[in-house]
C-alpha cells in the first residue's frame, strides 16, 4: 500500500531539498555516492556500455589473438586486459557513476528520493566530518532541518566575508580595520 504525500509535506520536502542543494553549492555539505549500490542494472545511473563494453572488447580481442596469432600471446593480452580493467577502467567507471549520480540527485527532488531509497547517497557536514546521514536508513529531512538552518543569502555572504577577514595583530591595525569597515 503506497501513500502519496500530502500537499504540505511535498512543499516542505521541496523547501528542504532546496536548502540542501543551496548548502551543497555553498560547500557546507558534501554528497558522497556509494558506487557498489548504484552500479547495477536496476540503477538509473548505470550504463551497460561502461561496464560491459570494456570487458567484451578485452575478451573478444584476446580470443581473436588466441585463435589467429598465438595461444600464449592471447592469454597474456587477456591477463593484461583484466589488470587494465581493474586498475584503470574500474576507477574511471566509478568516477562517471559518481558524476551522473550527483548530477541526477541535485537536479530535482524526485531523482533525489529515488537515489536515496536505493541507498546510494551519503550527506556529510564539511565542518564536522563525522556528522553524516546515510541512505536509505537515515532521514535526510531531519538532517537538513537540524544541521542546515535557513539563512538569507545576504546574511551568509556577510558572515563569510567577516570570517575571511584577517584578524588584526595589534591596536593600530585593529583601528584601521574598523575604520575601513565603517567607511
* Average confidence (pLDDT) over 165-177: 47
20 & 34 share domain: yes
HSE-CB at 116 with a 13 A cutoff on CA atoms is 18
Residue pLDDT, tens place only, 79-125? 999 999 999 999 999 999 999 999 988 888 888 888 898 888 889 88
Spatial distance between the Cα atoms of 145 and 25, rounded to a whole number of angstroms: 17
Question: 139 lies in which domain range?
Answer: 9-150
Res 8: pLDDT: 56
Confidence class for position 174, pLDDT limits 50, 70, 90? very low
Q: Are residues 133 and 178 in the same domain?
A: no
Regarding whether 160 and 143 lie in a shared domain, the answer is: no
pLDDT at residue 61 greater than cutoff 90: yes
Q: How many domains does the chain have?
A: 2
Q: Which long-range contacts (CB under 8 A, 24 or more apart) does 21-29 make?
A: 21/106, 23/144, 23/148, 24/106, 26/156, 27/126, 28/125, 28/126, 28/127, 28/148, 29/123, 29/124, 29/125, 29/126, 29/147, 29/148
Q: What is the mean pLDDT of the chain?
A: 79
Residue pLDDT, tens place only, 127-148: 877 788 888 888 888 888 888 8
Helix (H) or strand (E) holding 121: strand 121-125
- 125 and 171 inside one domain: no
pLDDT at 167 over 80: no
Nearest Cα residue to 26 out of 165, 164, 160: 160
Residue 101 lies in a domain: yes
Question: Are residues 118 and 161 located together in one domain of the fold?
Answer: no
The 10 Å Cβ neighbour count of residue 77 is: 20
Q: Is the residue at 112 inside a domain?
A: yes
Return d(Cα 27, Cα 126) in angstroms, integer.
Answer: 7
Closest by CA position to 90, among listed 41, 127, 52, 144: 52
Using CA atoms, how far apart are residues 67 and 53, in angstroms rounded to an integer? 21
d(CA 166, CA 2): 55
> What length does the chain have?
183
The pLDDT assigned to 176 comes to 41
How many helices (H) and strands (E) in the chain? Answer: 10, 3
pLDDT digits (tens, 9 = 90+) for 45-58: 888 888 889 899 99
pLDDT level of residue 5 (50, 70, 90 thresholds): low
Query: Reduced to 3 states, what is the DSSP secondary structure of residue 50?
Result: helix
125 and 92 part of one domain:
yes
Amino acid at each position: 500500500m503506497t501513500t502519496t504525500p500530502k500537499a504540505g509535506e511535498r512543499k516542505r520536502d521541496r523547501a528542504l531539498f532546496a536548502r540542501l542543494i543551496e548548502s551543497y553549492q555553498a560547500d557546507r555539505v558534501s554528497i558522497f555516492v556509494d558506487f557498489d549500490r548504484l552500479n547495477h542494472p536496476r540503477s538509473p545511473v548505470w550504463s551497460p556500455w561502461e561496464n560491459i563494453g570494456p570487458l567484451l572488447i578485452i575478451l573478444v580481442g584476446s580470443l581473436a589473438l588466441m585463435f589467429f596469432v598465438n595461444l600464449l600471446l592471447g592469454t597474456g593480452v587477456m591477463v593484461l586486459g583484466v589488470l587494465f580493467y581493474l586498475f584503470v577502467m574500474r576507477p574511471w567507471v566509478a568516477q562517471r557513476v559518481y558524476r551522473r549520480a550527483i548530477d541526477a540527485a541535485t537536479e530535482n527532488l524526485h531523482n533525489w528520493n529515488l537515489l536515496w531509497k536505493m541507498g546510494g547517497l551519503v550527506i556529510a557536514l564539511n565542518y564536522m566530518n563525522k556528522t553524516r546521514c546515510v541512505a536509505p536508513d537515515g532521514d535526510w529531512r531531519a538532517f537538513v532541518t537540524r544541521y542546515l538552518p535557513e539563512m538569507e543569502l545576504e546574511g551568509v555572504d556577510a558572515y563569510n566575508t567577516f570570517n575571511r577577514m584577517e584578524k588584526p595583530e595589534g591596536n593600530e591595525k585593529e583601528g584601521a580595520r574598523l575604520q575601513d569597515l565603517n567607511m
